[in-house]
Amino acid sequence: MKQLNRLKVVLVEKNRSGKWLAEQLGKDPATISRWCSNSIQPSIETMAQIAEILNIDVRELLNKSK
């Protein structure tokens, strides 16, 4: 499976947990876990919201493609 997002890495860099992000977004922690493992992907709108919460550019949440 292709790793599309860097959410797990960014959360570690920001010293935040998936549970914390779930609380900020009003989502189930299991959903955040699935995003972090790249088994499912958040919507573009949700990625923008995550970037805003983490105070980063949304592009930092995405793996570069060739």
User: Tell me, what CATH number does 31's domain have?
Assistant: 1.10.260.40
Residue range of the domain that includes 34: 7-58
> In whole angstroms, how large is the CA radius of gyration of the chain?
11
Q: How far apart are the first and last CA of the chain?
A: 16
pLDDT in tens, 12-66: 999 999 999 999 999 999 999 999 999 999 999 999 999 999 999 999 999 876 5
What's the pTM value of the predicted model, to 2 decimals?
0.89
**Amino acid at position 47, single letter:** M
Number of domains making up the chain = 1
